[in-house]
Chain A
Amino acid sequence: MVHSLQELRRSASLATKVFVQRDYSDGTTCQFQTKFPPELESRIERQLFEETVKTLNGFYAEAEKIGGSSYLEGCLACATAYFIFLCMETHYEKVLKKISKYIQDQNEKIYAPRGLLLTDPLERGMRVIEISIYEDRCSSGSSSSGSSSSSSGGGGGAGGR
């Protein structure tokens, strides 16, 4: 089953959703658990999933990093009575934009071809990474979906490998 992102939403029906929870072992910083959900066992390789979550965790750690530049930003903002935020984006917001791009990229390249869709945690209050699992309406079953074929358009239909 090869899907593009747009096709996925049109032709596939939502089967179920998996929620990757937050990992609080490092305190209140935003990190997600890298434990592989069993529902995705047949849909995607463990390593790809873990890499996605680890990269996201890295982004969030970068956003919340406490160091020289964040202090500088904080002090400068305080000195201007926070009016500077009317014209400047915070470091956190910039990283969130990067995250959003990364997720879209991952969806297009890796997840949509496998009938999956990642939702940006920002849309879920930074509580979970929601992964929607789609079933193709046209195909008779999902048994053939585990292939690791690239997303080139030449792939066959429901032929299993």
Chain B
Amino acid sequence: MSVMVARKKVVRKWEKLPGRNTFCCDGRIMMARQKGIFYLTLFLILGTCALFFAFECRYLAVQLSPAIPVFAAVLFLFAMATLLRTSFSDPGVIPRALPDEAAFIEMEIEATNGTVPQGQRPPPRIKNFQINNQIVKLKYCYTCKIFRPPRASHCSICDNCVERFDHHCPWVGNCVGKRNYRYFYLFILSLSLLTIYIFTFNIVYVALKSLKIGFLNTLKETPGTVLEVLICFFTLWSVVGLTGFHTFLVALNQTTNEDIKGSWTGKNRVQNPYSHGNIVKNCCEVLCGPLPPSVLDRRGILQQEESTAQEGPCPRAPGTQEPPASQGPGQPQEGAMKQQDGSIPPPSAVPVPSVSDTEMPAEKQRTPGELPVPPLDAGRAEH
């Protein structure tokens, strides 16, 4: 004898968001779908640092200075904090247009272009804007049904439009965009310093100990040293190069996406209208400028009433005991918001018709400044 019970099932907005992201911790954490390489990054950093602290640090702290492991710990913690921040935060995803808005924009486009006779290809959907005396084209995104703001781009891996899109980085398992670019930059900077630091002190350790017990005996005693040196050596070439490249981009206020497409280079192209012309000002704006909060409202509530037969323990208790406003990596708590008309669009089944309109082929994962990456990204993103 089952009893019908009306039960309120608390559904949060992140569960209904379109796009190919994974969400953890009830919407507090947001990542891309493929996380394998991110776990590898974590493993390499944690493993190398664990070896360094366990073996070399003990010797060096006594022989040279206890400040050595302390400084290494600070660098390590900073690198980890910025890595997790980059990986778990919303890069600046632009939510898709709701049906009303999409229809309104369609009407505007048709009004501008006029009706197209059957069989003829409609003109491309582009709007022109003048920014700082340069003409900038805004493209229409067929997936998200919006005109992309300047510098925004559609990531085909995550299937989202991202503001100030830089690139999709499999090493951090997320897109790098407006909201997490500074964390990404600080991560590669601190990782470069950490790598150089560990590499240097490994050499120092081997040198010091070899004087006492000989080179081969040193390696026999702490075989981890060889592993650390190898990892650091390969990491140095890639990460330091990448840091240099991004420093160059930050100084000019450009994104990787723009650099690869050559948006602002060449005689016939417009000059970068977003650069202040001053390196210091550009750096300050990109790294220390105001940080807009996420507009996704992942943890807002979509209230739904459900009738369920009361047969067993309820699979999901109404989530009323939410831990109080614990800010996830930089996400504002928008608070429980009732959706008036439940107007989150269903996961869009619209395939992207013209690839040329969506940016971000996966090749951008490798930036020009990145020197040979260790061949570990074989099983990486599908696209």
Contact = CB atoms under 8 A, between A and B. Distances in A.
A10 B104 CA distance: 25
Contacts of A96: 293
Interface string A59-87: 00001111000110111001001110111
B81 interface: yes
A130 B340 CA distance: 14
B94 A25 contact: no
Nearest to A19: B104
B151 interface: yes
B332 interface: yes
A28 B78 CA distance: 30
A23 B296 CA distance: 21
Given A22-B149, A126-B295, A127-B97, 8 more contacts: A9-B340, A17-B101, A27-B150, A28-B274, A63-B290, A70-B290, A81-B78, A92-B290
Interface stretch (B126-134, B230-238, B359-367): B126-134
Contacts of B94: 125, 127
Contacts of A64: 289-290, 292
A90 interface: yes
Interface in B192-241: none
B11 interface: no
A153 B282 CA distance: 54
A74 B287 contact: yes
A83 to B, nearest CB: 7
B186 interface: yes
A2 interface: no
A27 B295 contact: no
Interface string A102-138: 0000000000000000000011111110100000000
Contacts of B104: 17-19
Contacts of B105: 19
A63 B296 CA distance: 18
Interface string B247-280: 0000000000000000000000000011000000
B278 to A, nearest CB: 12
A128 B102 CA distance: 11
A28 B164 contact: yes
Contacts of A22: 149
A71 B114 CA distance: 48
Interface of A: 9, 17-19, 22, 24-28, 30, 63-66, 70-71, 73-75, 78, 81-83, 85-87, 89-93, 96, 122-128, 130
B150 A28 contact: yes
Contacts of A66: 284-285, 289-290
B101 A127 contact: yes
Contact of A27 (B81, B131, B183): B131
A9 B182 CA distance: 43
Contacts of B64: none
Interface residues of B, number: 48
B102 to A, nearest CB: 10
A28 B149 contact: yes
- Which one of A30, A63, A82 has the highest number of Cβ atoms from chain B below 10 Å of its Cβ? A82
B149 A91 contact: no
B107 to A, nearest CB: 10
Contacts of B163: 28
A92 B293 contact: yes
B138 interface: yes
Nearest to A81: B81
Nearest to A69: B290
Contacts of B131: 24-27
Given A19-B104, A71-B288, A92-B291, A27 B330 contact: no
B95 interface: yes
Given A17-B104, A19-B101, A24 B290 contact: no
A74 B78 contact: no
Contacts of B97: 127
A137 to B, nearest CB: 17
B188 interface: no
A24 B284 contact: no
